[in-house]
Structure 1
Amino acid sequence: MCNNGAEKFLEVTHKNGVREITLSHAKTLNSLSMPMMCQLQEALSKDQDAVDLRCIVLSAQGKVWSAGHNLKELASCESSARAEVFQQLSDVIMDIRKLPVPVIAKVNGYAAAAGCQLVASCDLVVCTDTSKFSTPGASVGIFCNTPGVAISRVMTHPKSAYMLMTGLPISGEEAYIAGLVTKVVPEQELDATITEITCAIKSKSRSVISLGKEFYYKQQQMPIEQAYAAAQAKMVENMQMDDCKEGIKSFFEKRPPEWTHKN
Structure 2
Amino acid sequence: MNFETIYTQQDGPVQTVTLARPERRNALSLQLMRELTGCLEEIAANTSVQAVIVAAEGKVFSSGHDLSEMTARTEADYREIFEVCTTMMETLQRLPQPVIAQVQGLATAAGCQLVAACDLAVAGEQAAFATPGVKIGLFCTTPMVPLSRAIGRKRALEMLLTGRVVSAEEAAQWGLVNRVVGSAELAEATRALADQVASASSFTVSLGKQAFYRQIDMDQHQAYSYATQVMTGNAQADDAQEGISAFLQKRLPKWTGR
Q: TM-score, normalised by structure 2?
A: 0.97
Does the C-alpha gap of structure 1 residues 84 and 201 become closer, same or farther in structure 2, counting only changes over 3 Å? same
Secondary structure of 2:256's partner? coil
**Which of 59, 62, 65 is the equivalent residue of 2:61?**
65
> Which residue of 118, 122, 128 maps to 1:122?
118
In the TM superposition, 1:206-217 aligns within 5 A as 206-217=202-213
- Kindly indicate whether the alpha-carbon contact (under 8 Å) linking 2:246 and 2:253 is maintained by their aligned counterparts in 1: yes
Report matched runs for 1:163-242 at 5 Å. Answer: 163-242=159-238
Matches within 5 A, 1:17-166: 17-166=13-162
Cα separation, partners in 2 of 1:113 and 1:190, compared to 1, 3 Å: same
Q: Distance in 2 between matches of 1:123 and 1:237?
A: 23
Separation in 2, partners of 1:248, 1:149: 38
Instruction: State the Cα distance separating 1:196 from its structure 2 match.
Output: 1.6
Report the CA distance between 1:194 and its aligned residue.
1.2
Q: How far apart are 1:79 and its partner, in Å? A: 1.4
**Residue 7 and residue 242 in structure 1: after superposition, are their counterparts in 2 closer, same or farther (change >3 A)?**
closer
Mark the CA change 1:142 to 1:119 in structure 2 (over 3 Å): closer, same or farther. same
Question: 2-side partners of 1:7 and 1:122: how far apart?
Answer: 21
Distance 1:128 1:250 in 2: 37
SS at match of 2:100: strand
1:76, distance to aligned residue in structure 2 (A): 4.1
SS of residue matched to 1:154? helix
Runs (5+) with no aligned partner, structure 2? none
| TM-score w.r.t. length of structure 1 | 0.95
Identity within the alignment, %: 37
**Consecutive aligned runs of 4 or more in structure 1 exceeding 3 Å deviation:** none
Q: In 2, distance between residues paired with 1:77 and 1:69?
A: 14
Deviations 1:104-162 (A, max 9, x none): 00000000000000110000011012110000111111111111112111113332111
Q: Report if the CA contact (8 A) 1:156-1:179 is conserved.
A: no
Q: Distance in 2 between matches of 1:171 and 1:156?
A: 17
Residue type at the aligned position of 1:162: E
Instruction: After superposition, give the CA deviation of every residue in 1:164-213 in whole Å (9 maximum; x if it has no partner).
Output: 11111000011111111111111122122112211111210000001100
Q: Distance in 2 between matches of 1:47 and 1:24?
A: 18
2:10 is the alignment partner of 1:14: yes
Does structure 1 conserve the Cα–Cα contact (< 8 Å) formed by 2:13 and 2:48? yes
Over the residues paired in the alignment, what is the CA RMSD in angstroms? 1.3
The aligned amino acid for 1:160 is: A
